[in-house]
Each structure stands twice: as C-alpha cells, then as structure tokens.
Amino acid sequence: MDLATFLQQLANAASLGSLYSLIAIGYTMVYGILRLINFAHGDIFMLGAYFAFYLIASVALPWWVAFLVAIAITSLFGIALERIAYRPLRDSPRISLMISAIGASFLIENLGVVIFGGRPKSFASIPLFDTVVRMGSVQVLSVSLFIPVITILLLVVLLFVVNRTKTGMAMRAVSTDVEAARLMAIDVNKVISYTFGIGSALAAIGGILWTMKYPQLNPLMGIMPGLKCFIAAVIGGIGNISGAVLGGFLLGFIEIMVAAFLPALTGYRDAFSFILLILVLLLKPSGLLGKKQTVKV
Amino acid sequence: MKTRNTVLTGLAIAIFALVLWLADKNLGGYAMRILNLSAIYVVLSLSLNLVNGFTGLFSLGCAGFMAVGAYVSALLTMSPEVKEMNFFLEPLAPWLARLTLPFALALVAGGFCAALAGLVVGIPVLRLKDDYLAIATLGFSEIIRVVITNLQGLTNGAQGLKNIPKFSTTWTVWGVAALVVAFMALLTRSSYGRQLKAVRDDEIAAEAMGVNVFRVKVTSFTISSFLAGVGGALLGHMITTIDPKMFSFMLTFNILLIVVLGGNGSITGSVIASILVTVLMEALRFLDEPLNLFFFKTNGLPGLRMVVFSAMLMAVVILRQRGLMGDQELTWSGFEKAGLLPRSKKGASK
Amino acid sequence: MLKIENLSVHYGGIHALQGVSLEVPEGKIVTLIGANGAGKSTTLKAIIGLIKTSGGSVSWNGKSLAGMPTKDIVESGIVLVPEGRRVFANLSVDENLSLGAYARKDKSAVEADRARVFKLFPRLDDRKKQKAGTLSGGEQQMLAVGRAIMTRPKLLMMDEPSLGLAPLVVKMIFDIIKEINAEGTTILLVEQNAKAALMAAHFGYVLETGRITLEGEGRQLLADDRVRKAYLGEAL
C-alpha cells in the first residue's frame, strides 16, 4: 500500500470516526442520565437525514436552512420520544425501559418504511460538500474534511456547556444522583429533556453529514451505525463524553484500516465492533476512560 | 387435592389433543401451518422466559442460538444428494456431506450444539449486569450470524439451505411444545426453580444464602439455549429453508414481544401469548397489502404490520407492564377461586 | 412553622407511618428519635415530596405541601440533608456548594454564604477543587451541611447527621447546628443518637414503628425513664 492510499484511508477513517463520535455522544449522555440504552438513537440519526432530505427536495429550502430546521425538528422529536416512551417508566425496572426502547426503535424504523418508502433515496448534491479536494496525490471529498472539523468544534462547545455552565452542572448532578439532585431544587425532568434534545441534535448533525458522504438514504440506515456507536460509547466508557468520542474514533479507525489492510476479513467487518465490545466488557467493563463503579450493599 | 389436579390436567391434555386432531383433519394447510408455528413459538418463548422471566437475566441472544440449532439439525438430516445440490458454490466438508441422522437425533444434536454455544457465550458474558448483558448477548447473536454467513464450506453462507426435510408435523411440534411446557413446569417448581427466582429477585441476598449465583445463571442460560436451538431446528424443518438473514434481531424481538405480552415469568402466559401473537401476525398481514376500507385506500404499506406490533409492545410495557399474566400461572386453584370449579372440601387452597 | 397532622405513608408494601402528628415551631430545634426502621427517614422524605403520602396533611406556614413536587418544596425554603450525606461524588466540593445555591438568584449573597461555609469548615476550603467522592465521611458530612447552608433554608431537615462519624466530629456538627439555629433557621433533626439529639433540641418526639409514642421538651425526654431505657442505654 502506498502513502497516497494510506493517507486516503486515514482521511476516511477520520470522517467515519467523527460520525461515529457524534452519534456515540448522544448514547452516552442519555445513558449517563437515565441508565438507559436508547435503542432508538440510531433511528433518530436516520430521521435527521430524512428530515433534511425532504426539506430540500420537497419544501425546496436552501440547504443550510434545511439543515438547521432538520436538526431542530429532530431534537424536538427526541424530547418527545423521552416523554412518551421513557418518562412513564421512570420508576419501573430497567428491563421495561429497554423493552420500550427496542419497541420505539422498531416503531420508528417501520414508520419510516411506511412513510418514506423502503427504497433508497439519493440525497441532493451540495457543491460545498461535494467538491473533490486534491492534496498531492490524495483525493478526498470536501465533506470528509469538514466532518472532523465540525465534530471537534461541537465537542468543544459541548464540553464547555457540560463542565462550565449551570445547566451542565445540573446535568452532571442528575447523572450522579437523581434523588439528591431533586433535593437541590433541580428540575430533573427539564434536565432530562435537555439531554435528549442535545443528544438528538448531535445525532441529526451526524445523520446529515453521513448522507453527504454516503448519499443513500433508507429507513433502516440507522440500525448498524446505531449499534456500533453504542459499542463505541461503551468502549470509551459509558457516561463519559470524551470517552464516547474516543470510542467513536477508535471504532471508525479499526473498521476502515482492517478493511484496507486485511481485505480477506471484509465479510466479518460488522462483527469487529461486537468482538471489540465483548473484549472490553470482559477486560475493562467501565471502558477506556470510565471509572470503576462499586455497588454498595 | 393433588389427585384432583392431576386428573384435571390429564383431562385438559386429552381435550387439547382431541382439538388438535380435529383441527388437523378439518382445517386447511394454511390454518394448520399457523397453528404449528405457534407451537414452535411456545418453545422459543419459553426458552426466553426461562432466562428473562425466571432468572432475571436480560438476554437478547435468542436468534443466534436458534440459528445454531437450525443449521445443525438441517445439515444432519439432509440427504447427501440434497446437500450436493445446495452447496454448489463451495462443497460441503466431506464428513458432513455423507452424514445423515434420524430426525430425533438431529433435533437433540441441534439443541446440544446450541447449548454448547450458550455455555461458551454465557461464561464470559453472565458476569455483566442488566443492559451490558443485553448488548453483549445481542453482539454474540450478530457474531454468530456473521460467522454463519462467512463459513461457506460449512453452512453454504448467504445462500442458506434449501429443501430441508419437512419433519415438523403437527404432532411433532405440539409434542415437543408439550414436553417443554411440562419441563418448565417441573423445573420452576423444583428447588432449582426456587434458586432461579432467588437470583432474579435479589442476587446479593441469594449469594449470601449460599446459592452459587453464577452457576445458576450459566445453567439457566445453557438450558435456555438448548431450547432455543430445538425451536430453531423445528422452525427450519417446518419452513424448509433457512438463511442467516432470518435469524436477525427482529426474530429475537418477536419472541421478546411474546414473552412480554404473556407476562415475564409466566409459563401459561407465554403459551397463550405465543398462540395469540402468531395468529395476530398472520391476521394483520393484510395491513401490509393494499387496503381498501371504504374511506381509505392505500397501495400496500409494507411495514405497517410491524408498526402495529411495535406500538403494541410499547403500549403493553408502558401501560400494563406485567403483560397478560404477570408472573402468575393459570392453575386449577385459580379457577377454583374464580368460582369456575367447585370448592374442595379441604377449604381454601393456595 | 411546620405542621404535620395524622400523616400516613405506605412504603414498600408496609404501612410505614400510621397517623403521625408533630409540630416544628419557628426558630426551634425539634428532634425525631427512634430505632432503626421506625419511620424517621420516611417522615422526612414524605415532607420533602420524595415519597407519596396516603393520608393526613403536611403544611408549612399554613400552606399545604400535599402533591407539591420536590423542586417547589425546596424553593419555598425547606431543605433536606439526606441520610448518608449523598454528596455528588463526581463533582468538586466547590460545585457541590454551588448546587446548594442552584435555586437562588442573589449572586452576591450566595458568594457571601460560600465564604461563610469555608470559614466554618476550613478543611473544605483546602479541598475546594477535589472531587467530593474523595473526601472522608466526616468531610462529606461537613460538605452536606455546607451545601445545605448554601440554600439559605428556612427549615433545615437533617437525617441522621451523626451516622458513622467520630464523636469529635459529631460534636462539631451539632455545635454548627446550634449556631445555624441561633441565626434563625428552624431545624428538624432525625437521629438515632438520641442523647446528642435530645441535648441539642428544644422539643423531641419519639417514633416507634410508625407512631409517635412520646413527646416533650428535650430536657424532659432526656430524664424520662422510658426514653432512658430504650434509647439512652441507661440502667434503671
């Protein structure tokens, strides 16, 4: 493999890793606050892409307006999802929550099939993102350069909000101890809605950027990325935002690099994430950046 | 009391067998197929109920173990000629190509291999808690699927297997289902069953009382995998074609739906729900076809059926979390209490 | 003034409180003592809205607290320092204190209170940036009390502040409780350490399996034979 191809693959890995990170953050934030694996998160990613698609194709909005509106709608959708599917089960055993999440995921996917149609759709081409950029002998789509930059910007903003604002402090308090947070007059419901809103917005951004790079939309497109990104979040340390980013990049890298250097194993590509997950769960369940949680009896 | 219950149970079984015989004689192939499919789902839902409902472990690995059972049983019962026809891309390993076993043996072998897979998966994975366990078992299920897809020389890969001998007759599937129900009833009433429930209710307390929690979990998981393998095999022998794509998370979801609807921890619940859901699945198939209600015309909305089912699952879990039966069973004493049976002279019973 | 009348609570399948009535007059320290499992924590949790009540009434300065969400109850000036400290382990000491003042809008007063907490508990000042989970039991209790001070409560409820603490630390905590009270804060104290509680309190109630069995002034109860036998471990 020559240098050019290697750099090419590196660029691909960086893009994929960023996309995975954006989605993984949503998982980790929701898990941190509710101890819930939001199975429907991958489908929210899909919705973000579809909303943008329809806003451009049917409503004929300029692309940047469509993007912002799509992100906003998806964010609201995530908040609504929490209200309907998870809030009523706040005091129930965690298994009920998980079942509701799985049900919600299937519901959204199949609603997508019914409403959007099962046949793949092509996202419109947007010149800003579609130009081929040449750097020496390496060729990348401009979007591949945008993605990591946007992701890192978003991450910086998010970390600032979480670590240095009052709302962020409330979010961290609720993740640590819900009841004690209530005693501080924190509106726990509002904090949870916020978390879902932010996570869903990030997933929507991920969805939109994803379709810029892989322009085929279908209602089931969120399943595999969703699962993989949850794995990324676990690998990085569930509940830890930086961990989610780390996990996302790691997973993206491994996926692209293995496919590039070990083409014989391509058939097993999807299994890698799972194998990695199981290894992490067995060796360091708290993840790469996570802390050990002891259970007090 | 006990004699009365035994007589009643025997009577119920006899009546059910009669109904089955009548159905077999009078109902068409389509209806019988649905009925028999329910029997297979009884086996599958009980296998999931054993780990989820009775032991309290949230496992999502069902489909993977079903696949193992289905493939093993299929490969062991197909004749060499049928195998040769299937494996046209890459020939099957010779020792397997020549091997053909009787159905009963193959079925057990399928279950056994699934149980082995369960052991291999369970030992590392059962140390994890709740959600992590779910994701890990889901992961393993997917890994199994990917492996099957890639082992062309053993499983025929993505092409799947066709012309599997149709051994799943009415009496076979319902016989197996009845056996499994009896097995589960005995198991849950035994001291082992009590250990299961202790682990489910409070692991730490159970451990403190001397229950070897880990061993209980592994055993339960392995038995459940065995049953899932048997169920998967029966499925293969009924629809005669299997491929890796059918053993997806969607299949596990369907079984989970049945278990939740029937009540996580209720054997009778699983039985009733299996029949109800299988029938409903078929009955609602019209939703995927072009609809022509007088005010509402559609051109076929594939996926609408699953929308309804997902909504159902969520509704049950949110509104009536305990499902149809919760963790209670339909017992003769229950009928007595409801006034449907004359009260026994011995007074109030449990 | 906090007034509880005939409070009934069913909790975890048990009739935990069976018609409890008590009063916490303004500016006083009232203590609720009793054995483990008597229902003391349940009472406090019911007042602050973490547990649903099944009968009776709780009113604060005439206004009923029934059905109010915890957030609103806390904003009206009632604060609970829960059993076991429950500081936010992942957050720093400073952030824990800030969380105490979460609902307050008067920034300068908040900073004044923060300075005061650090003066009362110099050890917390030293560990300002440390994560609260790394503090010792006694320091965490100080943090919990400090956090409560940051809320500028009108009624401060404390659930077993002495639990698991060395006697010297217990004495310090109780001294601070008396100091806070002297400044005008009403205090409702739930304690297993009956002696320390009754010595600090103006009034006391004895709770036994969900019912109030004795009440009176702190000094009276200290001298009462039944109390001495059951809770103070003194032979007749």
- The structural domains of chain A, with segments of one domain joined by +, span 3-15+23-224
pLDDT of B98 strictly over 60: yes
On the question of pLDDT at A101 being above 50, the answer is: yes
Q: Give the mean pLDDT of A251-267.
A: 82
Task: Say yes or no: A185 contacts chain C, CB-CB below 8 A.
Answer: yes
Q: Is the pLDDT of residue C94 over 90?
A: yes
Q: Are the CB atoms for C154 and C111 separated by under 8 Å?
A: no
pLDDT confidence band for B349 (50 / 70 / 90):
very low
Highest mean pLDDT among B215-224, C81-90, C102-111, C204-213: B215-224
Residue for token digits 């001070």? C149
Are residues C179 and C62 located together in one domain of the fold? Answer: yes
Question: Do C73 and C94 belong to one domain?
Answer: no
Residue B37 buriedness (CB in 10 A; 0-12 / 13-18 / 19+): buried
Same domain, C157 and C232: yes
pLDDT band at C48 (very low <50, low <70, confident <90, very high): very high
Question: B85 falls in which pLDDT band (50, 70, 90)?
Answer: confident
**Residue B293's pLDDT band (boundaries 50, 70, 90)?**
low
Q: Is A173 on the interface with C (CB under 8 A)?
A: yes
What is the pLDDT, as a whole number, of residue A214? Answer: 85
The stretch A29-56 carries a mean pLDDT of 91
Average pLDDT over residues A110-130: 82
Task: Out of C130, C152, C174, pick the residue that ends a domain.
Answer: C152
Using a CB–CB cutoff of 8 Å, tell me whether A263 touches chain B. no
Predicted pLDDT at C95: 93
Q: What is the pLDDT of residue B339?
A: 67
> Does residue B344 carry a pLDDT above 70?
no
Residues listed for chain A: 297
Residue B348 confidence class, pLDDT cut points 50, 70, 90: very low
Share the mean pLDDT of chain C.
88
Return the minimum-mean-pLDDT range out of A25-29, B83-87, B273-277, B299-303: B299-303
Give the end of a domain, one of C118, C152, C186. Answer: C152
> CA B253 to CA B224: how far, in whole Å?
16
**How high is the pLDDT of residue B71?**
93
Contact across the interface for B256 and A99, Cβ inside 8 Å = yes
Give A274-277 contacts, CB < 8 A, sequence gap 24+. Answer: A274/A231, A274/B139, A274/B140, A274/B142, A274/B143, A275/B139, A275/B143, A276/A231, A276/A235, A276/A251, A277/A231, A277/A234, A277/A235, A277/B135, A277/B136, A277/B139
Contacts of C128 (CB under 8 A, 6+ apart): C92, C93, C94, C118
- pLDDT top residue among B48 and A3: B48
CB-nearest to A230 from B135, B302, B309 is: B135
Q: Are residues C175 and C140 in the same domain?
A: no
Same domain, C31 and C130: no
Q: Residue B49 carries which side chain, given as an amino acid letter?
A: N
B99-132 pLDDT, tens digit each: 888 888 999 999 999 999 999 999 988 888 777 8
pLDDT band for position C236 (50/70/90)?
very low
Both C66 and C129 in one domain: the answer is: no
The residues near B30 (Cβ < 8 Å, ≥ 6 apart) are none
Q: Are residues C115 and C26 in the same domain?
A: no
Q: Chain-wide mean pLDDT for chain B?
A: 84
Return residues 148-207 of A near B (CB < 8 Å). Answer: none
The count of other CB atoms within 10 Å of the CB of residue A234 is 31
Q: Between B332 and A276, whose confidence is greater?
A: A276
SS3 assignment, position C15: strand
Residue A296 has pLDDT above 60, yes or no: no
| Ordered DSSP codes for B41-53 | HHHHHHHHHIIII
Model confidence at B340, in pLDDT bands (50, 70, 90)?
low
Mutation pick from C102, C105, C129 vs chain A, by most beta carbons of A within 10 Å, is C102
Continuous segment of H or E residues that includes residue B180: helix B170-189
Question: What is the span of the domain harbouring residue C143?
Answer: 87-152
Question: What does DSSP say about strands B292-293 and A132-135: parallel, antiparallel, or unpaired?
Answer: unpaired
pLDDT at B65 over 90: yes
Q: Is A92 on the interface with B (CB under 8 A)?
A: yes
pLDDT score for A1: 62
| Residue A205 in this model has a pLDDT that exceeds 90 | yes
pLDDT of residue B27: 76
Q: Which residues does chain A have within 8 Å of residue C75's beta carbon, measured at their own beta carbons?
A: 185
Sign of CA dihedral B184, B185, B190, B196: positive
Identify the pLDDT of residue C30.
93
Q: Do C112 and C164 lie in a common domain?
A: no
C103, C196: one domain: no
Using CA atoms, how far apart are residues C205 and C212, in angstroms rounded to an integer?
7
Q: Name the most confidently modeled range: A199-203, B1-5, B150-154, C181-185.
A: A199-203
Contacts of B124 in chain A (CB under 8 A): 278, 282
Q: Decide which of C124, C152, C180 is a domain's last residue.
A: C152
For the cut 60, the answer to whether the pLDDT of residue B200 exceeds it is yes
Touching C: which chains, 3+ CB pairs < 8 A? Answer: A
Q: Are C94 and A176 in contact (CB under 8 A)?
A: no
Whole-structure pTM value: 0.84
- Please report whether residue C53 resides in a domain: yes
Number of separate domains in chain C = 2
Torsion angles phi and psi, residue C7, rounded to 5: -70, 130
